[in-house]
Structure 1
Amino acid sequence: MLDPALPACQGLLTRKISAGVFRNQTRRPFSFTSRPTSPSSAVSPLGALSRTIAQNGTEGTKSKGFFPPVSHKSVAYWLLGSAASVFGIVVFGGLTRLTESGLSITEWRPVTGSLPPVDDSAWQSEFDKYRASPEFKILNPNMDLSEFKKIYWMEWTHRLWGRVIGVTFLVPTVYFILRRRVSRPMALRLLGITSLIGFQGFLGWWMVKSGLKDDLFTSGSQPRVSQYRLAAHLGAAFLVYVSMLWNGLSILRTHTLLSRLTPTPIHAHEIHSFKSIPSPQNLLHSLQSTLHARTFRPFRLSVLALGLLVFTTAISGAFVAGLDAGLIYNDFPYMGLGLTPPKRELFDPFYSRQPDPHPDLVWRNAFENPSLVQLDHRILATTTFTAVMALWAWTRFGRRFRGTVFPAEVWKGVRGVVHLVWLQVTLGISTLLYLVPTPLAAAHQAGSLALLTGVVVLGSRVCLPRIVQMALKNPRAATKMGLVPTRRLGERAKGDGMKFLNAQE
């Protein structure tokens, strides 16, 4: 953007425009934007000024290393698309569990398992394997082949979707690194996410395997997957999603903030308001001062703590799902005759695996007793809701933030999180009251990930990428890396504009 310090140039240029000096601009307003020049104007000061501005955005030496300083925008869009796919598979995985389809495929074949049965003999072979599982013998002894196909297709689609996510992440990762579209830190992060996706696939089979053990054939056993492994599987999926989302948003935010350091052409009809146009550089420095202010640091830490709280609440929901704890105490806010069940029920020695005095009594009940697991989830959910509303009230009415000008994007992020937490609480209570119907339960799981998304987006808005901080602190180093132009447009335009006006005199 042009430097507003043009006291002499501004008035003179305005008089020239009003006097009709530029008679060839009657149909098109005069502008400092570049356009093809004729031979007659190639040597004119105006032509030189146009070429100067056009070349300004392409100047600057590039980094000589293998990796660029900033990842390309296409990487961000790909990461956000991959995150959307992970969001979808998390919701579909919840549907797979709710329809009790997860144990229909009793083998783990990462490559050959991508192909479904194609004839009757292949279907019968898969059905025979399922009939030997504890789930069939105890829960579904009357299931026929047509019913088996329904749950088989659910699990097969879930596994195929996971394979597609892995391939569509691994191949572009290699491509972007070889094509030098990502920075060095981002390349390492992409490789880390790729490894996490592979580990997530292993956790999926490890979870399914826990529901196929022979000890589940014993009397009184419930053929279902381990709630510990289910929580690990869901937690890994959340980590993959957050990693993709955060890095995608970080790249886009870096480009947006760096663009404020890049000058943009200004038309002559805007010359009257030069002094009223805020400099993008000044806006960016103001944003940095706000986000790094001492009064803003507690807010940034609170957003981080809120994200951890939302994640913990979601993982506790996995224990509720793994133990079918949502099918008991289907009222709210009471649990039976009081706000909590009796203490004897919450800390039942039945779940302890060690003799008296039962040193594992507390933690065993916390993770294996359905009554205490549901109570823990209620407490965490209520704490999350209270924390979100407290954060909103604190930023709006707190004394610490009086006089602090919050960026508009931060305010929008806070309001978005408030709306999402209200939606999630409504879905959770409705799921409990209506005895966990499949649509509501799946929506509740999607709501937890949506709430975490809102917190991650808010977190990305209260942080400045390191490359932007470096560009603000050391413009010369940023120029050498090709992040900003070598000279400010305002300074160059001011000099060339004065030459042009002097020539017109």
Structure 2
Amino acid sequence: MTSFLRSDRSTPVAVWLSIVAALVLAMVVVGGATRLTDSGLSITEWKPVTGAIPPLSDADWRSEFAKYQQIPQYQLMNRGMSLAEFKTIYWWEWAHRFLGRLVGLVYALPFAYFLIRREIPKRLVLRCFGLLALGGLQGAIGWWMVSSGLSERVSVAPERLMVHLGLAFGLFGALVWTALDAWRGEARQPLPSPWRALSLGLLGLVFLQILLGALVAGNDAGFVYNDWPLMNGTLFPRSYLGEGLWGTIAHSQGAVQLHHRLAGYVLLVVAIWLAVSARRTNYVPPPAKRLMTATAHAVVLQAVLGVATLMLAVPLWLGILHQLFAAVVLGLATAFAWRIRRV
């Protein structure tokens, strides 16, 4: 009879979700490298199943290259590219898509196994179905993003990149939270605390900063205004305004970089303030104090990485590291918000 009863917690489920979160993190890192190497448009078709097999012959490679030569990115930016150079960008995009397929398999197969064995805590079953649906949606959004750069643009639309990256980070945070829930079980009548709202506010601010960073990436805004703390010698970028409100918010290089900087300053101040305040209050238990301190340290390091990335004009390794640490900050802020709810 016990095999038909769900426990309130499950270490195997927590481990499984943690592994999926790690794979999502790897996908975010490879996705960042794909973007920084301008590789994202090298595969011009969306084949969810057969696309898992890369070109296996010289004829296959030439066929893929011929498709790439038809899009604006090749014609306006990479005309004259050799087949060997094309293979380099192709492999980045293929690896990114392969990781996406791997994440789907590593999630779906154990999910079915745990469901059949009734090992998933009952309160988490619907949430796990929701994560599965969001993972599938992420694949569709990825193609929606890529398709924006295949006809009239030489790169993907920044707002679509923001949605794609935002959902990836959202999935990562949700997986971390759910893994913690599976590991520790349901919280028992948490006491009212102002820190519940404060922790969610911090988490929201971290996520907002990630979205603003996606707009910077989508507009290649890290390659301009490479001085700091000024912007080409001024406090306010001269080329701030775009074509209308949305053009300014989503497409102006000066605006998106300024917004990312300002949100970063706010996040830095808020994280340090919360870390200091957490150490001085009895509302926050010692484990949560340590998590908040770690979050603040990670935010400081991320700010330093951000400035260095900007001033060095986004070298590949530093751009990847900056994106990786964004996930570290989000993971720590998620763990802090989760832990506060168990006071």
Shorter-chain TM-score bucket reads over 0.9
Which residue of structure 1 aligns with residue 191 of structure 2? 292
| Equivalent residue number for residue 304 of structure 1 | 200
Structure-2 residue corresponding to 1:362: 245
Post-superposition offset of 1:172: 1.0
Query: 1:341 Cα shift?
Result: 2.1
Aligned equivalents of 1:331, 1:383: Cα separation in 2: 20
CA-CA distance at 1:405 after TM superposition: 6.6
Q: Which residue of 1 aligns with 2:145?
A: 207
- Separation in structure 1 between the aligned mates of residue 114 and residue 132 of structure 2, nearest angstrom: 13
Using the TM superposition, give the Cα deviation of residue 413 of structure 1 relative to its aligned residue in structure 2, in angstroms: 0.6
Paired residues, what number? Answer: 343
Corresponding residue for residue 326 of structure 2: 448
Cα shift readout 1:380-432 (whole Å, capped 9, x = no counterpart)? 111111110111222345xxx3xx27422112111111110111001000001
Quick one: which amino acid aligns to residue 238 of structure 1? F
Shift of residue 102 of structure 1? 0.7
Task: Give the distance between the partners of 1:201 and 1:247, measured in 2 at CA.
Answer: 21
Cross-structure match for 2:273: 390
Task: Classify the secondary structure of the residue corresponding to 2:332.
Answer: helix
Pick the aligned partner of 2:218 from 302, 306, 322.
Answer: 322
The answer to whether the Cα contact below 8 Å between 2:195 and 2:284 also exists between their aligned partners in 1 is no
Q: Counterpart of 1:53? A: none
**Larger Rg belongs to:** 1
The answer to whether the 8 A contact 1:310-1:452 is kept is: yes
C-alpha distance in 2 between matches for 1:341 and 1:125: 44
| Structure 1 residues 462-501: aligned runs within 5 Å | 462-464=340-342
Q: What's 2:311 paired with?
A: 433
Q: How far 1:453 moved relative to its partner?
A: 0.6
Structure 2: how far apart are the matches of 1:114 and 1:143?
24
2:108 aligned residue: 170
Structure 2 Cα separation of the partners of residues 160 and 245 of structure 1: 22
Matches within 5 A, 1:32-71: 68-71=6-9
Letter in 2 for 1:332: W
Q: 1:416 aligns to what?
A: 294
Partner AA of 2:241 in structure 1: F
Mark the CA change 1:127 to 1:418 in structure 2 (over 3 Å): closer, same or farther.
same
User: 1:155-213 CA deviation, whole Å, 9 max, x = no partner?
Assistant: 11111110011011111111111101012221111111111110000111111111101
Cα 1:80–1:86 shift into 2, 3 Å: same
Q: Is the CA contact 1:67–1:182 (under 8 Å) kept in the aligned structure 2?
A: no
Equivalent residues of 2:275, 2:289 under 8 A apart: no
Q: Give the aligned partner of residue 334 of structure 1.
A: 230
Q: Give the TM-score taking structure 1 as reference length.
A: 0.65
What RMSD, in angstroms, separates the aligned Cα atoms of the two structures?
1.9
Post-superposition offset of 1:451: 0.3
Partner letter of residue 318 of structure 1?
A
Gaps of 5+ in 1: 1-60, 217-222, 258-283, 352-360, 466-505
- 2-structure distance, mates of 1:384, 1:68: 40
1:438 and 1:166 mapped to 2: Cα distance?
27
Q: Give the 3-state SS of the residue equivalent to 1:346 in structure 2.
A: coil
Task: Specify the alignment match of 1:120 in structure 2.
Answer: 58
Partners of 1:405 and 1:250 lie apart in 2 by 21
- How far apart, CA to CA, are the structure 2 residues paired with 1:141 and 1:405? 61
Higher RCO, Cα 8 Å, sep 6+: 1
CA distance in 1, matches of 2:318, 2:283: 40
Partner of 1:238: 169
- Secondary structure at the aligned position of 2:185 is classed as helix
- Match of residue 254 from structure 2: 371
**Matching residue's letter, 1:394:** S
Partners of 1:67 and 1:184 within 8 A in 2:
no
Local SS of the residue matching 2:6: coil
Counting aligned pairs with the same residue, the percent is 39
Pairing partner for 2:45 from 107, 110, 125: 107
For 1:79 and 1:112, locate their aligned partners in 2 and report how far apart those are by CA, in whole Å: 27
- What letter corresponds to residue 337 of structure 2 in structure 1? G
SS of the residue aligned with 1:118? coil
Q: 1:136 to 1:67 in 2, by over 3 A?
A: farther
